């Protein structure tokens, strides 16, 4: 496991962001729904995950749209370029719950191969 491998730092950063997401969703959904700060924190963390994976793909010459990276990168693009008033907190929460854990395991396994 070498940080000198192209994309290693980006995978590490994405994994750290996914760990932070997991910590924040371990609290109740009610606390999330009642706090715009918590909602924006999860948005920022998903933007970070998508940005890190986008950079990882560039460094590893992985074509755009390649799974499993396409979903998080699309999410990042929607969050970055979308309208804040159009942002639905339920989509952010559901993404954290449904996609976060599996992506975290996948990235850890991928990182172990570098």
Q: What is the pLDDT of residues 40-95, one digit of tens each?
A: 999 999 999 999 999 999 999 999 889 999 999 999 999 999 887 788 889 999 99
pLDDT-based confidence at residue 2 (cuts at 50, 70, 90): low
Name the residue range of residue 73's domain. Answer: 8-112
Query: Is 41 part of a structural domain of the chain?
Result: yes
Report CA-CA distances (Å) from 74 to 32, 37, 90, 106. Answer: 23, 23, 17, 18
CA gap 24, 34 in Å, rounded? 13
What is the structure's pLDDT at 3? 65
Query: Is 3 part of a structural domain of the chain?
Result: no
Query: Is 2 part of a structural domain of the chain?
Result: no
> In total, how many domains does the chain have?
1
Query: Is 1 part of a structural domain of the chain?
Result: no
pLDDT-based confidence at residue 21 (cuts at 50, 70, 90): very high
Query: Is 25 part of a structural domain of the chain?
Result: yes
Query: Is 46 part of a structural domain of the chain?
Result: yes
Question: In terms of Cα–Cα distance, which of 71, 76, 93, 91 is closest to 26?
Answer: 93
pTM: 0.91
């Amino acid at each position: 496991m070498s940080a000198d491998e192209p994309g290693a730092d980006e995978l590490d950063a994405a994994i750290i962001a996914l760990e932070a997401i997991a910590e924040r969703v371990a609290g109740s959904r009610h606390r999330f729904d009642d706090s715009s700060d918590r909602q924006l924190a999860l948005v920022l963390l998903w933007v970070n995950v998508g940005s890190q994976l986008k950079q990882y793909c560039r460094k590893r010459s992985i074509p755009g749209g390649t799974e499993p990276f396409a979903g998080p990168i699309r999410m990042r693009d929607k969050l970055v370029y979308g309208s804040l008033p159009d942002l639905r907190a339920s989509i952010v929460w559901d993404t954290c719950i449904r996609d976060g854990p599996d992506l975290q395991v996948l990235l850890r396994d991928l990182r172990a191969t570098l």
